[in-house]
Structure 1
Amino acid sequence: MRFAALFFCLAFCGFAHATPVSLIPLPAQLQLAKGSFKVDEKTSIRVPANDQAASASAQYLAGLIASTRGLHLGVTDAGVASQAIVFQRNPKLAHAEGYILDVTPKGIRIEAHDDAGLFYGAVTLFQLLTPNAQHGEVQVPALHINDWPRFAWRGVMLDSARHFQAVDKVKQLLDQMAQHKLNVLHWHLTDDQGWRIEIKRYPELTRIGAWRTPPDAGHDGEPVRYGGFYTQDQIRDVVAYAAARHITVMPEIDMPGHAQAAVASYPQIGVTGKRPPVSVDWGVNPYLYNVDDASFQFIDNVLDEVMALFPSHYIHVGGDEAIKDQWKASAAVQAKLRTLHLKDEDALQGWFIGRIGSYLSAHGRRLIGWDEILDGGVPADATVMSWRGTDGAIKAAKLGHDVVMSPAPDLYLDSLQSQLPDETAGRGPVRSLEDVYRFNPVPAVLDAAQAAHVLGAQANAWTEHMPSMRHVEHAAFPRLDALSEVVWSPASSRDWMGFLARLPAQFQRYAAQQVDYADSAFAPVIQVDANTALKSGKALVKLSNQAGYGAIHYTMDGSAPDGQAPLYDKPFNVIWPVTIKAAVYASDGGMLAAARTRLIDREHLLSRTGAELVNCKGSDFRLHLQPMPDATSMLPVYAVNIFDTCQQYLAAPLDDIASIHVEVARLERNFALAHDIKLVVPRPHSTPHGELVVHLDRCDGPAIASAALPDPANSTRRFALDAALTPQHDEHNLCLVFTAPTDGPLYAFDRVSLIPSSENKAKP
């Protein structure tokens, strides 16, 4: 009975929180009234004469409605009238970016004091006009909305340095940001792996620095040459496109570290004077800018062109992960440090950042950097972006600096969204939709005066493991829906179940605009106890999903489950072999998550995918990687720990198991680990390329199987290993270890299968 109650609630409880209007982010104040107003082809949009901003917002609304609902509304400045959508100025409204939206049976009115308020009123009305996937006329419920943002900074960082996105793809992200009332695009344009912005004075930055030769170039789908850059005309176009949607584009030009692409282009600005390649390795590379006058002149000249392209008040200078080995080894840099009477290299970085801050201030701009800029002292007017958790923000706010909350892993969009077998590439730990929704941008330890320094928050789309915009969209949506509510709506209005109830309509808007959102929060998880099933011939099937929301329908005959398929309300027993398929539906019958399938038979009960294995004790680091660093496919992905190759198959049933079959993927080891290289665990190997070794119970337990790894030069990237197992009884943990040399490729488990004796294989 407890199971029945629990899963009935899973299917239906969330629907009680459904609101008559599916708005994201939730407005500050919303009051429903009686009646409704019909919007159809006869409805006009009226704007004040000679008000270009109002006209632009009206045209934006009309264009969105035409493209998503097929409803064409004319825009006119023929004065105020009933039975129309009216945009109007209201100088009495006090909140910046705020608006009032009234719907009555006689018409719709949007009022705002500033241009942004009119625009955001149009965004809210767009959502009211698209409550479902239907086309044509729509009845809008009567209501009164008084709305304004909680925070001024509502951002997204797009990393175009690691993987380059075409201009039209960047614009697609800007379109969705606008529809979520997000107003800062932090554009990461330079790093070790690429320089993406044209600088007229220094053409080598894009002739050389914008391109890299990938590992194993030209093989297995890896491009021979990878890269690209934005011309200055393209950047102006993107900046103008964003501005029309009330989004500020803030550039990031990394310094003093993450400078390898720049140094590859102009070696004289580096510390050693030698030309490195543009990096193919993710992580922390050693190349820094020099600290001599010529290098600062180079940086100043670059910043001059950057400031001419980007009117943003803030210029981001990075400041993160600048390991100081090159500075420590340079006699010239050490002499400079002594001349400046600085105690160490961290203080030298503080001096470096301070000099850049002064240059930006002299040109009417303001410096912002990652929280490492605090380590060596920072200009008094610098703004700090906290990424190493929230400690940097707390320290900065207490020192009187403005801060933007952007902590890892909470707001890192390259964090995995789930542990689903079909989850795309990313890094652990999982940061779910609910994790983002429950994020609080204001740390509780700050008093009111310190909390006032929190400008807002942003999510970061680092693209080491997101090589295409499809990956970015999958990682960003719907987690950006959650972020938009965190940074726009009042904290007191936070309601997780109510938020979920508003998502189905948003998913339909995504579908209409071909946004490749993730359904990870709602996807059905099909659970069975494999060992119990093997012993009994029956499997107890449990269905659930991450969000705990939606109606789960399932089939057992291999057919696709629709809304008429059996509704899951409690665990059920099946006799295997059987194929379970499950999908999740919203209360209106729309699909929340596509069907997932689990085949329950002896072969699958005796196997685990690489994602189902767990790290051995000692390191919790985990990445889900694609076959090649620049692969653009969404699957397959492989779970790896780049520090320790040991993975565990927990509670392996070893009675009558004769051998082990392991499907393996060979991956590129393109990771710059800097000082963390000491954490990599080497394993002794007895064959030239290493082995797969299976240990019993513990990672230092007895070896019960071994198979040699093939020569990477003469084998495919995916291959299988088979090894006889020393006979065992009962259930044991198996530690599976690759002993390959740590200066060679990585190896990942695709699937690990236990193979019964011939007698067992013959059993039904």
Structure 2
Amino acid sequence: MFNTSFLRIIICFAYLFSSGLVLYAQESERYPLIPKPVKLVPGKGYFDITAKTKVILDNNNPALKTAAGFLIELIEHSTGYKLGYGNKGNHKNSICFSIDNTIVNDEGYQLSVTGKIVMINYKTPRGAFWAVQTLRQLMPPDVETKDGHVKNLTIPAVQIEDTPRFAYRGALLDVARHFFSVEFIKKYIDALSFYKINTLHLHLNDDQGWRIAIEKYPRLQTVAAWRKETLVGHRLDVPEKFDGKPHGGYYTRQQLEDLVAYAGKHFMTIIPEIDVPGHSQAILAAYPNLGCKADTTYEVSTRWGVHKEILCPKEETFKFLEDVLTEVMDIFPSKYIHIGGDEVPKDRWKESAYCQNLIRTLNLKDEHGLQSYFIGRLEKFLNSKGREIIGWDEILEGGLAPNATLMSWHGEKGGIAAARQNHQVIMTPSAYTYVNLYQTKDRKQEPFSNGGFLPLEKVYSYNPVPAGLTPDEARYILGTQACLWTEYVTNERDAEFMTFPRACALAEVGWTSLAQKDYNGFLRRLNYNLRHLDKMKMDFFKYYSNAN
């Protein structure tokens, strides 16, 4: 008797447990949202989008029209019909945008979907745009198609309240090591903004190439933008092999202005990086007078790794950089300009009589102090133009510039030090955010890479607030970003493959609170969510479940 009763209890428990799993799976399929919202209450039924559906705006803010216009265009491309704007008084069969100043965060929003109406409450148009991306993820994946043949476009009923954990949620694309087309970058922006990533960090120069046209210095385009060949295989391979093929390219001012405008329509900021004083061999190939060694000929590097050839802190160098940065600022309206500052070997400065005399004249301790002086000069210039600098964590060497924001990539140590000095920090430790590393231990199914191992689960596990910080210090952590370095990423397909879905995981790291994170739940949502990327024709990595 006891055994029979116990068996019944076990069966009931198993039934309830399995039913719960089924419901969880169904909810993941019905609401495959990444990043996970703060609060989601499932509803019954669907809102059907038809040719008669209207979009209703509560004001004429151009930025709000941009957010709503994105939705209208998305639906037009997939269905063939263009939604019109309706009157405020008639809300039936409509998608309504309404400003709500009780929403605390500028990027926050509230979304209500019933069978009759979609209501989007927002504080700023950016919040409205993120609500549109949530709607986009709730629609069938075919909404991403552009052939106008989708006949059934529905949104499941739901109530959502949402706000991001961090203000800075970024992705770095290195276009210096390998050049990528403007059209590809636009595709990249569209996929990133789909996951509420709000910043694209463009790494525009390195030892191997310069990628932005500067009117005052044309040799940056004709010389620095091109290398004669590229190393094949890993940089430590012996003997070295090269492909014998010239590689390069640069973006014109018009192209970059178009890119900035495109990003703006996705409520994304592009932060340009001009990496100095290190990573500057391509600059020196065009303008050797900016180096520390007189009568020296340089070439755009064909190898990877850290190079000893760096800019000399002469007045003509600062004049060059101020001219370049002035043109950069004319193109990019971003609050921040990234000035690099990483991996600066001091060999040439130690050998230079000019540098040694400058150290004595300025009463600096050593070459690290000279680097701090170099970065400080750039910061003072950019601050005078209303901009602020971001630098990699090596700008801590010799003392941090007064108003600098630090990007911490050597683990978390630099970020902790900067936060304790009351400086803002973006956490990008390579062990968790460098998506150019391998995704599985079975490397045969992946493109050739730098090495290392960064599976999806490890990316998702990251917490940008280091454990050692006090709550007051933690408020200086602005957020995090995925970094795609392209020494070994030679084409657009591989760039997509390395970025996604790890950028999806980092998007949730940047948006969703720690208490709500759940890797298994994330995987269930991801399995359905990636169907959208597939329809966008993104060649993402598909073996993430077996990465370990």
TM-score (ref. length: structure 1): 0.65
1:175 to 167, 179, 190: 190
Residue 16 of structure 1: how far off its partner (Å): 6.3
The structure-2 alpha-carbon separation of the partners of 1:71 and 1:24, relative to structure 1 and needing over 3 Å to count, comes to: farther
The structure-2 alpha-carbon separation of the partners of 1:72 and 1:286, relative to structure 1 and needing over 3 Å to count, comes to: same
Q: Does 1:37 align with 2:47?
A: yes
Q: Does 1:232 align with 2:276?
A: no
Q: Deviations over 1:249-280 (max 9, x none)?
A: 11100111101010110011111131210001
Matched to 2:253, the amino acid is: Q
Task: Tell me the residue number matched to 1:102.
Answer: 112
Kept after mapping to 1: 8 A contact 2:230/2:247? no
Q: Does 1:127 align with 2:137?
A: yes
Q: Does 1:402 align with 2:424?
A: yes
Matched to 1:254, the amino acid is: D
Residue 85 of structure 1: how far off its partner (Å): 1.3
Q: Which moved more, 1:124-133 or 1:397-406?
A: 124-133
Q: Which moved more, 1:107-116 or 1:422-431?
A: 422-431
Residue 41 of structure 1: how far off its partner (Å): 3.4
Residue 90 of structure 1: how far off its partner (Å): 2.1
Task: Tell me the residue number matched to 1:330.
Answer: 352
Q: Deviations over 1:525-548 (max 9, x none)?
A: xxxxxxxxxxxxxxxxxxxx337x
The structure-2 alpha-carbon separation of the partners of 1:12 and 1:270, relative to structure 1 and needing over 3 Å to count, comes to: farther
Residue 73 of structure 1: how far off its partner (Å): 4.4
Q: Secondary structure of the residue that 1:500 maps to in structure 2?
A: helix
Name the CA distance, whole Å, in 2 between partners of 1:215 and 1:307.
Answer: 31
Matched to 2:191, the amino acid is: Q
Task: Tell me the residue number matched to 2:289.
Answer: 268
Q: Does 1:426 align with 2:435?
A: no
2:271 to 250, 253, 262: 250
Kept after mapping to 2: 8 A contact 1:157/1:188? yes
Q: Secondary structure of the residue that 1:315 maps to in structure 2?
A: strand
Kept after mapping to 2: 8 A contact 1:47/1:75? no
Q: Return the structure number with greater strand share.
A: 1
Name the CA distance, whole Å, in 2 between partners of 1:355 and 1:433.
Answer: 40
Equivalent residue runs for 1:32-111 within 5 Å: 32-48=42-58, 50-67=60-77, 69-70=78-79, 72-79=81-88, 80-111=90-121
Kept after mapping to 1: 8 A contact 2:230/2:244? no
The structure-2 alpha-carbon separation of the partners of 1:325 and 1:355, relative to structure 1 and needing over 3 Å to count, comes to: same
Matched to 2:118, the amino acid is: I
Name the CA distance, whole Å, in 1 between partners of 2:54 and 2:139.
Answer: 14
Equivalent residue runs for 1:70-469 within 5 Å: 70=79, 72-79=81-88, 80-130=90-140, 135-215=150-230, 222=243, 224-273=245-294, 274-420=296-442, 421-469=444-492
Matched to 1:546, the amino acid is: A
The structure-2 alpha-carbon separation of the partners of 1:132 and 1:26, relative to structure 1 and needing over 3 Å to count, comes to: farther
Kept after mapping to 2: 8 A contact 1:71/1:136? no
Matched to 1:103, the amino acid is: V
Kept after mapping to 1: 8 A contact 2:290/2:311? yes
Matched to 1:192, the amino acid is: D
Equivalent residue runs for 1:669-688 within 5 Å: none
Q: Secondary structure of the residue that 1:144 maps to in structure 2?
A: strand
Name the CA distance, whole Å, in 1 between partners of 2:419 and 2:491.
Answer: 36
Kept after mapping to 1: 8 A contact 2:231/2:303? no
Q: Secondary structure of the residue that 1:254 maps to in structure 2?
A: strand
Task: Tell me the residue number matched to 2:526.
Answer: 503
Q: Deviations over 1:198-238 (max 9, x none)?
A: 11110011110000000589xx9946321000011111111
Kept after mapping to 1: 8 A contact 2:230/2:246? no
Name the CA distance, whole Å, in 1 between partners of 2:230 and 2:267.
Answer: 40
Residue 292 of structure 1: how far off its partner (Å): 1.4
Name the CA distance, whole Å, in 2 between partners of 1:27 and 1:320.
Answer: 36
Residue 409 of structure 1: how far off its partner (Å): 2.3
Name the CA distance, whole Å, in 2 between partners of 1:496 and 1:295.
Answer: 49
Name the CA distance, whole Å, in 2 between partners of 1:319 and 1:243.
Answer: 27
Matched to 1:83, the amino acid is: N
Q: Deviations over 1:555-610 (max 9, x none)?
A: xxxxxxxxxxxxxxxxxxxxxxxxxxxxxxxxxxxxxxxxxxxxxxxxxxxxxxxx
The structure-2 alpha-carbon separation of the partners of 1:15 and 1:326, relative to structure 1 and needing over 3 Å to count, comes to: farther
Matched to 1:31, the amino acid is: V
Residue 130 of structure 1: how far off its partner (Å): 2.1
Kept after mapping to 1: 8 A contact 2:438/2:451? yes
Kept after mapping to 2: 8 A contact 1:45/1:86? yes
Residue 14 of structure 1: how far off its partner (Å): 7.5
Task: Tell me the residue number matched to 2:547.
Answer: 546
Matched to 2:258, the amino acid is: D
Name the CA distance, whole Å, in 1 between partners of 2:414 and 2:173.
Answer: 21
Kept after mapping to 2: 8 A contact 1:40/1:71? no
Task: Tell me the residue number matched to 1:574.
Answer: none
Name the CA distance, whole Å, in 1 between partners of 2:344 and 2:274.
Answer: 14
Residue 192 of structure 1: how far off its partner (Å): 0.4
Task: Tell me the residue number matched to 1:639.
Answer: none
Residue 395 of structure 1: how far off its partner (Å): 1.0
Q: Deviations over 1:98-137 (max 9, x none)?
A: 1111011221111112110111111101111126789432
Matched to 1:353, the amino acid is: I
The structure-2 alpha-carbon separation of the partners of 1:136 and 1:283, relative to structure 1 and needing over 3 Å to count, comes to: same
Q: Deviations over 1:727-748 (max 9, x none)?
A: xxxxxxxxxxxxxxxxxxxxxx
Residue 378 of structure 1: how far off its partner (Å): 1.6
Matched to 1:265, the amino acid is: A
Matched to 1:74, the amino acid is: L
Residue 12 of structure 1: how far off its partner (Å): 12
Task: Tell me the residue number matched to 1:662.
Answer: none
Task: Tell me the residue number matched to 1:650.
Answer: none
Task: Tell me the residue number matched to 1:643.
Answer: none
Residue 15 of structure 1: how far off its partner (Å): 6.3
Cα RMSD of the aligned pairs, angstroms, is 2.1
Q: Secondary structure of the residue that 1:515 maps to in structure 2?
A: coil
Q: Which runs of 5+ in 1 are unaligned?
A: 1-10, 523-544, 548-764
Matched to 1:182, the amino acid is: I
The structure-2 alpha-carbon separation of the partners of 1:400 and 1:471, relative to structure 1 and needing over 3 Å to count, comes to: same
The structure-2 alpha-carbon separation of the partners of 1:83 and 1:12, relative to structure 1 and needing over 3 Å to count, comes to: closer
Kept after mapping to 1: 8 A contact 2:168/2:480? yes
Kept after mapping to 2: 8 A contact 1:22/1:131? no
Residue 83 of structure 1: how far off its partner (Å): 1.4
Name the CA distance, whole Å, in 2 between partners of 1:300 and 1:132.
Answer: 48
Residue 17 of structure 1: how far off its partner (Å): 4.0
Matched to 1:208, the amino acid is: V
Kept after mapping to 1: 8 A contact 2:52/2:93? no
Kept after mapping to 2: 8 A contact 1:98/1:112? yes
Equivalent residue runs for 1:628-667 within 5 Å: none
Matched to 2:495, the amino acid is: V
Kept after mapping to 2: 8 A contact 1:42/1:73? no
Name the CA distance, whole Å, in 2 between partners of 1:216 and 1:457.
Answer: 31
Kept after mapping to 1: 8 A contact 2:55/2:85? yes
Give the percent of matched residue pairs that are identical in Structure 1 and Structure 2. Answer: 40
Q: Secondary structure of the residue that 2:430 maps to in structure 1?
A: coil
Name the CA distance, whole Å, in 1 between partners of 2:298 and 2:265.
Answer: 40
Q: Secondary structure of the residue that 2:445 maps to in structure 1?
A: coil
The structure-2 alpha-carbon separation of the partners of 1:150 and 1:481, relative to structure 1 and needing over 3 Å to count, comes to: same
Equivalent residue runs for 1:586-665 within 5 Å: none
